[in-house]
Amino acid sequence: MKNIAKTVGFKPGERNIFFHILTACNLSCRHCYINKKQHGTEQLTIEQIEQWMAIFADPDKKSNMIFLGGEPTLHPDLPFAIEKAKELGYFVTVDSNGYLFRDILNKTTPKMLDFLSFSLDGPDAETNDPIRGIGVFDTCVANIERAVGLGFNVSVIYTVSRKNLADLHRMVPLLIKLKVKKFFIQVIGLRGKSAKADSEEISQVSRQQWLNTVPEVARMAAESGIHVTYPKVFLSAGEAFECAGVVAENYFIFPNGRVYQCPLCEDHPINAYSIENNRLVKEDGLREDSFFRLNIAEGCVMNKLLQPDTIEYDDKGLPLYRISCCLLKQEIG
């Protein structure tokens, strides 16, 4: 059937490299996951960027390179990094907060940059700006229009929290108006600022709130010709649990050289790998990958360890549902 969401299993031979080339940012979003104590404050040199990208390049596999920050367009060498990534065979995306510094649109091309992704957390300034900052909505929308006008493929990321779930459906007419091709609906991660005790207002929504809202909005957007991706989050009865750390290749690289396989772990010094002297080095001891193969009733073991409050139990102490790997996606459109 048309416009029915499907779970996209982890694809053998497909790799995703999430490359934080700096942690600096002009904004201070209330749900920012960057933790400079754990991720560093460095801005990588272009030599480091090129050398580190080469570590993960593999001509025999489809590899997605996602440039992140902080705000990646603050880096003066981002256009050169995009060009080098294409030379290495990567499918290239830049995730931006929408400010597009250093005249990035005129220093790269739609041929070099496969997708330019913008973060918006509301369909208007009244919803978005209390989360991301005053004036952010207008700036981001204006730059989306500029990017689309120049021929770039544009996607939008919306991070769902208690503060903006009710406004999610109003994103659809905005996305249509802006001619956005892809829409990513994200669940807020309980890490960085969101893990703090005073972040109740922007914390995760309940299972029922998610299921009552997100799939329907995704269907609405897909009916308008927009490709929608959102995390599976909750497994249905009979669905098998798979951990991306076991069956897929995902690397989350930070400027201090830490390389994680699971984004839930990024607030902790348990990264499975590090980059040392431009080589990928496997870390010894009890690390994130020590847990990936554990089989528990709750599904994702890292979710159980790091954010157990997201799981509900019956009166016998059994989980009411299983949490999927945070990297397992639903797609529609």
Residue 262 confidence (pLDDT): 96
Q: Which residue's structure tokens are 């500029």?
A: 146
| Poorest-pLDDT segment among 132-146, 188-202, 206-220 | 188-202
Q: What number of other Cβ atoms are within 10 A of residue 23's Cβ?
A: 22
Tokens of 234: 């909750």
The CATH fold assigned to 6-239+326-332 is TIM Barrel (3.20.20)
**Alpha carbon separation from 208 to 117, 157, 184, 198, 321 (Å, rounded):** 28, 22, 20, 23, 12
Residue 39 confidence (pLDDT): 96
Mean per-residue pLDDT of the chain: 93
The pLDDT-based confidence of 198 (bands split at 50, 70, 90) is low
Residue 269 confidence (pLDDT): 96
Task: Tell me what the mean pLDDT of segment 210-217 comes to.
Answer: 96
Nearest to 32, CA basis, from 190, 192, 197, 222: 192
Domain positions in the chain: 6-239+326-332
Distance of CA 103 to the CA centre of its chain: 24
**What is the per-residue pLDDT across 248-286, written as a single tens digit (0 to 9) for each?**
999 999 999 999 999 999 999 999 999 999 999 999 999
The pLDDT-based confidence of 1 (bands split at 50, 70, 90) is very low
**Alpha carbon separation from 264 to 34, 72, 207, 269 (Å, rounded):** 12, 21, 18, 12
Strands (E), 85-201: 91-96, 115-119, 154-160, 182-187
**What is the per-residue pLDDT across 129-156, written as a single tens digit (0 to 9) for each?**
999 999 999 999 999 999 999 999 999 9
Q: What is the pTM of this model?
A: 0.94
Q: E strand or H helix at 258, and its extent? A: strand 258-260
Is the model's pLDDT at 100 over the cut of 80? yes
Residue type, 145: E
Residue 21 confidence (pLDDT): 98
Residue 333 confidence (pLDDT): 87
**What is the per-residue pLDDT across 88-99, written as a single tens digit (0 to 9) for each?**
999 999 999 999
Tokens of 12: 């053998």
The pLDDT-based confidence of 102 (bands split at 50, 70, 90) is very high
Is the model's pLDDT at 11 over the cut of 90? no
